Structure formats: C-alpha cells, structure tokens
Amino acid sequence: QVQLVESGGGLVQAGGSLRLSCIASGRMFDFRPMGWYRQAPGKQRELVATVSTIDGTKYGDFVRGRFAISRDYDKKTVSLQMNSLTPDDTAVYYCNYQQPVDVDYWGQGTQVTVSS
C-alpha cells in the first residue's frame, strides 16, 4: 500500500526551471522503478523519467538532456530537476512507483505550466 505525494509544480516562463519532488510511504523496493510521467490535455500519459537500482535511469525522448532525476532510497523520495522549460512541457506531472507483480501506484499530480 504505497502512497505518493508530489510537490513543486507551478508557473514559470520559457527557459526557466522547476524542481519536482515526490514523497512515498509504504513498502518500497529499490530495484523497482520510481519516477515521473506527465499528461497534457488531449494527449496520453507519457514517460518523463524513472530510476531503479538495477535498471538505472530512463528518460523520455523529449527530455534531450534538460531534465535530471534523482532518487533517495532511504527517504523514499524522488526528485525531477527540469531546466530549459518550454510551453510544450506544460502538463500535469505524476509520480509513479511500479511494484512487483506489475502493480502501479500514482500520485495525484502536480501542475506545471510554462508560459511563452
């Protein structure tokens, strides 16, 4: 029974930066991926970044070196540093944890809005 709570979203101008944080509670496994997905209006939810001890890091194709994910396995937190933001990054960003037996947990999301 994992619970995820996101924070750090907001409104920024193009070229700006934001740092998202997710705090988890419950039983966690370091070797299972934890990270971020996002969903913009009219689009499907897509991978932003995930990390685990055995799979390393994985980024969505749109990131192109602009974002960096970090995970604290002891505190059960994951952060996403986002730089060089563009209006195309506007979306709700969701924290995600993939438990064994293919069970996914999701936070409620945090809104990121990037203005021109």
CA distance 89 to 112: 7
Question: How would you label 68-107 residue by residue, b for 16+ Cβ within 10 Å and e otherwise?
Answer: ebebeeeebbbbbebeebeeebbbbbbbbbbbeeeeebeb
Q: What pLDDT was estimated at residue 26?
A: 95
- 46, 68 in Cβ contact below 8 A? no
**According to the model, what pLDDT value does residue 76 have?**
97
DSSP state of 16: -
Residue 12 pLDDT: 98
Per-residue confidence (pLDDT) for residue 113, from 0 to 100: 98
One digit per residue, the tens of pLDDT, for the chain of length 116 reads 899 999 999 999 999 999 999 999 999 999 999 999 999 999 999 999 999 999 999 999 999 899 999 999 999 999 999 999 999 999 999 999 999 888 999 999 999 999 99
What is the rounded CA–CA span in Å between residue 20 and residue 69?
A: 9
pLDDT at site 89: 97
pLDDT of amino acid 32: 96
Query: Which pLDDT score, from 0 to 100, does residue 100 have?
Result: 86
Q: What are phi and psi of 10, to 5 degrees?
A: 170, -165
Residue 30, number of CB atoms within 10 A of its CB: 13
The pLDDT assigned to 23 comes to 98
d(CA 51, CA 58) in angstroms, rounded, equals 6
- Whole-number pLDDT of residue 61: 95
Question: What local confidence, expressed as pLDDT, does residue 1 receive?
Answer: 86
Instruction: Retrieve residue 19's tokens.
Output: 């740092």
* Amino acid at residue number 74: D
